[in-house]
Amino acid sequence: MIIPSTLKIYNASAGSGKTFFLVKNYLYILLKNRNSDEFKKILALTFTKKASEEMKKRILQCLKEFSNPIRIKKEYSYLLNNLIKDLNLTKQQLHRRSKKILSSIFHDFHSFSKNISTIDKFNYNIVRSFYSTKKIDLEMDTEKILFKVVDNLLCRLNNSEKWSDILVQFSIEKLREGKNWDLRKELFKMARIIMDENNFLPVKKIKSYSLENFVQLKNVLIKRTRKFEEKCETQGRKFFVFLRENYISEKSFLNSEFPKFFQKFKTKNILLNPFHENLENNIQKKIFYSKNSKKSQRILIEKNQNKIISLYNKTKSIYNNNISCYLLDKIFLRNINILSIIHEIEKELNFIKNEKRIILNIELNKIIYEKITKETFPKIYEKIGTKYKHYFIDEFQDISFLQWNNIKILIENALSENGSAMIVGDPKQSIYRWRGGDSKQFIKLINYKSINYKKELKTLEKNFRSYKEIVKFNNSLYKSISKIFRSHDYKNIYLNSKQKVFKKSGGYVEINFIKSLLVSNYKEHIYFQVKNKIEKLLRKKYLLSDISLLVRNNKEGHFLSERLIEDGFKVNTSVSLLIKNQLEIQIIINLFYIISNPYCYQKRVVLIFLLLRKKFLLTKKKYHDFIMEIIFFPLDIFLKKISLKNKFFVKKIYNKTIYSISEEIINSFELLNKNSTASIYSFLDFVYRFMKKKGNSIIDFLNYWESKKEKESVIISDNNKNSIHVMTIHKSKGLQFPIVILPFADWNSHSNNKRKKEGGWIDVNPHLYNGLNTIYLEIEPYLKQIKHNKEIHNFYKNYISNTMNDNINLLYVATTRPIEQLIFFSKLENEKTISFYIKNFLQEKKIWNDKKYQYSFGKEGKYF
């Protein structure tokens, strides 16, 4: 009997030399074996192309250095000595093997390169083998295809009597709720739900439910909810009839509590719990009326108090016995119409995929998972199983449920045949849950035993990146934050996250709090503070490229990048700057509006202020006088008056294309300058694309612009290496910088910070839902107040818990990027914000002072 090998799991906190460690272990397997082709039996999977390229580069650099028998660079000698010791080889033996392996790799570089791959690319190659008999392309732009699906579907369903009634009904229901009734948006939202890997298993269950089933279920739910609402309404009416019959005034009750309570039942306003603590206490103490009520009224109430209590208790009993089911029914009814279209969306999607001969990148994991569940060990997996003997998986905390289940079968097979597998990750850096990443896979792997293989868990404890004060600060901060986690597993992960210091001394952490109520424009105030800090760092001989501003979202990145560029700083940013925010583009668009509607004087005023802002228009007169003088001129005269040197007039744009008009505006108002070049050329490209698709109508162009302006952007990336980095925290993962500034370290820890609404699935009793055993609910703020339904209550609690985990992880990623300095700017807000946890940490250290707004650890200085 072959004893399975051990699955090695490494918990690698930020800065712990994870890449070095992976490379070392990869080289260990290569150099241990006398066969120079062993690299063909190793599969290393990463999550980004950049990470896979970095790993290949380091492996080749190491082998090249080890192949040199005379001199090895200092940075490679430590690894060389480690490998000599671990492999029990002489330096000459290691040199000869390295040279031989390097030669083999160059003779079959394709295999080497292919075997160090992103997990998506690996999956794509597997899926392609399933379609070996026909040509199939990979489509990366899922949204483009889903928009096409929705457009086709709306066209088809609107011509169907059966479906058009359902769609109209759905729109009416949404209007009643005061919500978005745009069917295109709702259908697109449902299409995204279907495609989201996180929803794969519940969607699979719900696909077996036909339209007829949904219609029947909807009727059952409506009947059931109405029956309960009628009971509640009856109880409410009974109370007010009782008052009339006994001549009791509603105003006689203490704070009108009882009338308010029964009014909710009468009007069926029962979705949120109508019972409250004061009411319950007053019932127990038999306090019904206020002292100010008339004596006659008090006597009447006392005389009838037993009847009031009996009516209250009866109402309470009806509510408690039915509310749990009612809540689920009522909330599910809000989504049932759109869920019933799930089959039609699927049908249209499959039609488009077959027509275009494509598969979507987003469905690769699902295709493999379904193949595995249908066959015990698919043929392609048999090939892979015999081909690879050693597995490396990097960034395991970002792996999804499906990805792990798809790869696990290969790893278990390798371990059973005396192969090896190494998994490296850090649950604290799991920040991609929204795209399927599930740190619970890693936590489960760490904490639970497997019957299929042995496990060995090790922690990479040293921080090789940051100086001492930053490591100490992070150790203390996250030990403090660990107390807020509801999950026992997560609490322990952060509680035990203490790292050992490698760089013995130095480092600086600065926390700046801002009282947002004391500043008129919080964002501008933050920018002013950040700008001052940057200038101070430059005076201390730091380079612009040493500084990185990390932000929560693109909007913050846009703001900072634009302001820095305006003030003459060179910026290297991964966030795209929206064209619509550029002053020059706003001028062009406003001129288009004025040309298409000559008598829109409001647009004329806006345009004048835009031109005056950066001196694209010069006048010695007071602004008000100047505006009143020219605002009502005929269009031609108005345009000449506002253009520099009176260059712009109607004759110049007569019968011209939109592109030519744009160029004429740019030239006449001298809008092109070194700061506007990128945005203007991006805008002209947008104009060109519009004309190619839609024609030459200014009105059509403006409508198209309004629909696209939130996405049209230009990426500013300065080729000069000495420029400030501005990027989202998500983009910064895996990177490091001498100085990290967090300008807005005050995001809401209970918010997912996304435009699209989050939702999830709840298991239900199939006997109550006509055979359906799972239903979809959207996350709504009111769910927090629902206590009478355990499933909904836990559903919302889990959502908040997951969101808090995401946001703390995001903070962890941000605070572990710096080498020398970490600088926070944060407004003091409520307990739901990140700044609250930082303040709480300072209170625990007993250094918090209500009148102090700046705290520092370590000393400012240049350490390299």
* Domain spans in the chain, listed from the N-terminal domain onward: 6-131+371-460, 137-356, 508-570+722-750+815-858, 578-717
Sheet strands (E) in 91-201: 116-118, 137-139
- Give me the residue label for tokens 């009338």: 259
3 state SS of 772: coil
Whole-number pLDDT of residue 265: 92
What letter does residue 8 receive in the DSSP assignment?
E
Alpha-helix residue ranges (DSSP H) falling in 375-486: 379-387, 401-416, 439-447, 468-481
Which distant-in-sequence residues (6+ apart) come within 8 Å of 154 by Cβ? 183, 184, 187
Report d(CA 104, CA 401) in Å as an integer: 36
What is the per-residue DSSP string for 657-703?
-HHHHHHHHHHHTT---TTTHHHHHHHHHHHHHHHHHH-S-HHHHHH
Distance CA 190, CA 343 (A): 11
Strand segments (E) across 100-148: 116-118, 137-139
For residues 694 and 701, the answer to whether their CB atoms sit within 8 Å is yes
CB 583 within 8 A of CB 606: no
The tokens for 506 are 């130095």
Q: How many CB atoms lie within 10 A of CB 835?
A: 23
Burial class (CB in 10 A: 0-12, 13-18, 19+), 499: buried
Question: What is the Cα–Cα distance from 681 to 628, expressed in whole angstroms?
Answer: 34
Handedness of CA 707, 710, 711, 712 (dihedral sign): positive
Name the maximum alpha-carbon separation found in the chain: 110
CA atoms within 13 A on the CB side of 258: 32
For the chain, the 3-state helix, strand and coil shares in percent, each to the nearest 5, are 60, 15, 25
Q: Own/partner pairs for 134-141, CB < 8 Å, 24+ apart?
A: 134/357, 135/357, 136/357, 136/358, 136/359, 137/356, 137/357, 137/358, 137/359, 138/358, 138/359, 138/360, 138/361, 139/356, 139/358, 139/359, 139/360, 139/361, 140/361
- Judge if 6-131+371-460 and 508-570+722-750+815-858 fold alike in CATH terms: yes
Of residues 393, 409, 482, 503, the one with CA closest to residue 442: 393
DSSP code for 253: B
742 CA to centre of own chain: 18
Q: Quick one: DSSP state of residue 2?
A: P
DSSP state of 224: H
Please provide the size of the chain in residues.
Answer: 864
pLDDT for position 172? 66
- CA–CA distance, 391 with 315 (Å, rounded to integer): 63
Report residue 111 as tokens.
């295999």
Helix 658-668 and helix 583-596, axial crossing angle in degrees, nearest 10: 120
Q: Which amino acid is at 328?
A: L
Beta bridge partners of 863: none
Beta-sheet pairing, 508-514 with 854-858: antiparallel
Residue with tokens 């940075």, as numbered in its chain:
75
In this predicted structure, what is the pLDDT of residue 1? Answer: 41
Whole-number pLDDT of residue 177: 61
Other CB atoms within 10 A of residue 98 CB: 24
CB 400, CB 197: distance < 8 Å: yes
Q: Establish how many alpha carbons lie within 13 A of residue 404's alpha carbon, considering only the half-sphere containing its beta carbon.
A: 19
Rounded to a whole number of angstroms, the CA Rg of the chain reads 33
Q: Where are the alpha helices (DSSP H) in 196-304?
A: 200-206, 211-245, 257-266, 277-285, 295-303
Nearest to 249 by CA among 295, 315, 314, 307: 295
CA distance 765 to 788: 17
| Predicted local distance difference test score (pLDDT) of residue 464 | 93
Domain spanning 6-131+371-460, CATH class: alpha beta
Q: Which CATH architecture has domain 508-570+722-750+815-858?
A: 3-Layer(aba) Sandwich (3.40)
Query: For residue 128, what pLDDT is reported?
Result: 83
Mean pLDDT of successive 10-residue segments in the chain (864 residues)? 75 91 94 92 92 93 88 86 92 93 94 93 86 77 87 79 69 62 78 89 86 89 95 93 88 82 90 84 82 82 87 92 92 83 88 90 90 75 86 93 90 90 93 82 82 86 94 96 87 90 90 82 93 95 95 90 87 79 88 87 85 72 77 83 71 82 85 81 88 85 85 64 90 93 92 71 90 88 82 89 92 96 89 89 93 92 66
